[in-house]
Structure 1
Amino acid sequence: MAVSIVLSHISALLVAVLVLLWALAFRTTIFLRFYSSSVDGAATATAVAEFDHLYFVLHTLLMVIGFILFGGEGILAHRWGVGLGWARGPRKAAHLWLQGAALGFGVAGLLTKFKGNKGVLANFHSLHSWMGLLCLLLFAAQWTMGFLSFWNRGEGWRARTLLLPWHVFIGIFTYSLAVATAESGLMEKMAFLHTKHGIPRSSLEFTLINVLGLTLAIHCGLVVFTLIPVKHKESSNSTMVSSAGEHLNSKFVFS
């Protein structure tokens, strides 16, 4: 198995660990918030479960681990499937269902933003939210197009050949857009923590968020790096059609 695939798996694991660490170790800002209130001058510990914080942690976990990391594994299914000795059919199935799972997690992550106590529209005024909506729409269209054009053999080989480069391009673009959207969400959250909660930028939590963002960017780079050289290498050796009209060896990563 190629070194870049192993590194992409390691970076994905690191991203998942960092997100879970943020969720569990910093409960005051990302999970259920507990704080002390003063009544008649006497400080009493009051546990207040703010559902907006719960929805935020669910949104973060579903989008980063579910949508981005599952989506990345689905994108690389053709690569690590070859390393495991899988035939073309199982690789296509793994690609299809991992991407489908990622789409499901993404929709669930979007729905958590409809549950906040500020209402629906209050969560869709930022650039982060607009990028997220665009990303999900592209991902859904991409998955549907891939299913109809490649998994369903009713389409002719010529139509699939014409659609394949667009499938590859939109897939890479959408995945990169998802990572960029997550990075903008991290920046948005850091600004909120600093202005609303007074958390200093030199705090341990801010350091963790920065490391998470950097690791996520590196993971995205590894995924794209793993895809592009293989696409060029295999496309140069592709044959067009057999005597029966079957597409033989066009082994693009998203096919």
Structure 2
Amino acid sequence: MAVLISASRPLLALARVAGFLVAFLVLTWALAFKTSFIPHHSQTHEDLIYSVMHPLLMVIGFILISGEAILVHRWLPGSRNLKKLIHLCLQGVALTCGVFGIWTKFQGRDGIVANFYSLHSWMGLICIFMFATQWLMGFLSFWHRGEVRTLKVRILPWHIFLGLYTYGLAVATAETGLLEKLTFLQTRRNVLKHSAESMIVNSLGLGLALLSGLVILAAVLPKYNHYNVLQSKLTGSETKKSSSYLKERKY
């Protein structure tokens, strides 16, 4: 347990490195291979901008910022309320980026239905809906933190679980999007399987998988203070049991 607790800081550092790597890869892909984002049967500059903005908003704006919001409780010093406020603000920024990221797919000439037919698109809509619900719950909980305290304590584990599940779902949705896009490029636009673009997209997928694992592990890792309290309680209970047992033996 002590080894896990001492590994918290290296995990945060690794998560930041993985985040910078993911940001670098998605920026390189979007800027160096812009022609791959030109929609089918469209050559307009506006459609190109919308297509490029979608992966940037969803990966950097939605996944990376929401991951940083999850890690706020691990590295930010200060009171619990301050941490909750920063967490809420970062999640609000991530939600805004996610909504605008989906909004860009509504701007194509092919229409709304043409952009929401695949597993990737369905998962994306579900993920944004769940994320918005989670953020609204956190917002109401922050501004009414003195009310129904017992109820808040009961729903907190579910809030944490759904938050981490939604984050994992967002990463899984991005992975399906990368697979969908790369399959389209290789089959319709003759992008070679061993080309530089294919390597960048595959590396981006691996980077997202690594990042999600580090963020979730850092989030669920026991805190030192909580571990000390738990250990003291367990030690105290064991001491009481031992003393009562000795008294029984004595009499």
Percent identity, aligned pairs only, is 50
Match of 1:22 in 2: 29
Match of 1:40 in 2: none
**Structure 1 length as normaliser, TM-score?**
0.81
Match of 1:61 in 2: 56
Give the Cα–Cα distance (whole angstroms) in 2 for the partners of residues 151 and 186 of structure 1.
38
Q: Which runs of 5+ in 2 are unaligned?
A: 1-7, 231-251
Report the structure number with the largest CA radius of gyration.
2
Match of 2:89 in 1: 97
1:160 and 2:141 correspond: no
Alignment of 1:70-85 (within 5 A): 70-81=65-76, 85=77
Q: Which runs of 5+ in 1 are unaligned?
A: 34-47, 239-255
Match of 1:248 in 2: none
Cα deviation per residue 1:143-194 (whole Å; 9 max; x = unaligned)? 1111212442243220110110000000000000000000000000001101
Greater strand fraction, Structure 1 or Structure 2: 1
**Structure 2 length as normaliser, TM-score?**
0.82
Greater helix fraction, Structure 1 or Structure 2: 2
Give the Cα–Cα distance (whole angstroms) in 2 for the partners of residues 156 and 164 of structure 1.
12
Q: Higher RCO, 1 or 2 (CA under 8 Å, sep at least 6)?
A: 2
Cα deviation per residue 1:33-83 (whole Å; 9 max; x = unaligned)? 9xxxxxxxxxxxxxx5354332121110000000000100111111111xx
Runs of 4+ in 1 over 6 A off after TM superposition: none
Q: Aligned pair in 2 of structure 1 residues 141, 183: CA closer, same or farther (>3 Å)? A: same
Give 2:190's aligned amino acid: G
Q: Is the 8 A contact 1:51 1:116 kept in 2?
A: no
How many residue pairs align between the two structures?
221
Quick one: which of 17, 27, 36 aligns to 1:10?
17
1:19 positional shift? 0.6
RMSD (Å), alpha carbons: 2.1
Give 1:196's aligned amino acid: R
1:30 positional shift? 2.9
